[in-house]
Amino acid sequence: MAADAGQRPETLPASRTVEFTYGPLETADVLVLYARGMELRRSLSLRSIHRFGPGR
């Protein structure tokens, strides 16, 4: 069914999710960058990705 102008179309609830798991990096692998004088530290890395949904 098409939505009228200015109205939101009907939506269905989410049936799938993705979960990202992060873990700490070793001290020697921590990356330190600077942007406009601000220190940015990358101290986590992606450990796993899990998908959840119908039939899983």
Tens of pLDDT, residues 17-48: 999 999 999 999 999 999 999 999 999 999 99
Asked whether 18 and 38 are in contact (CB, 8 A), the reply is: no
Residue with tokens 């939101």: 8
3-class SS of residue 24? strand
Instruction: Tell me what pLDDT residue 1 has.
Output: 54
Q: Which residues does 30 contact at the CB level (< 8 Å), separation at least 6? A: 41, 42, 43
Cα four-point dihedral sign 42, 43, 48, 51: negative
Would you list the domain boundaries of the chain? 17-52
Q: Does the pLDDT at position 14 exceed 70? A: yes
Q: In this structure, are strands 38-42 and 31-35 parallel, antiparallel, or unpaired?
A: antiparallel
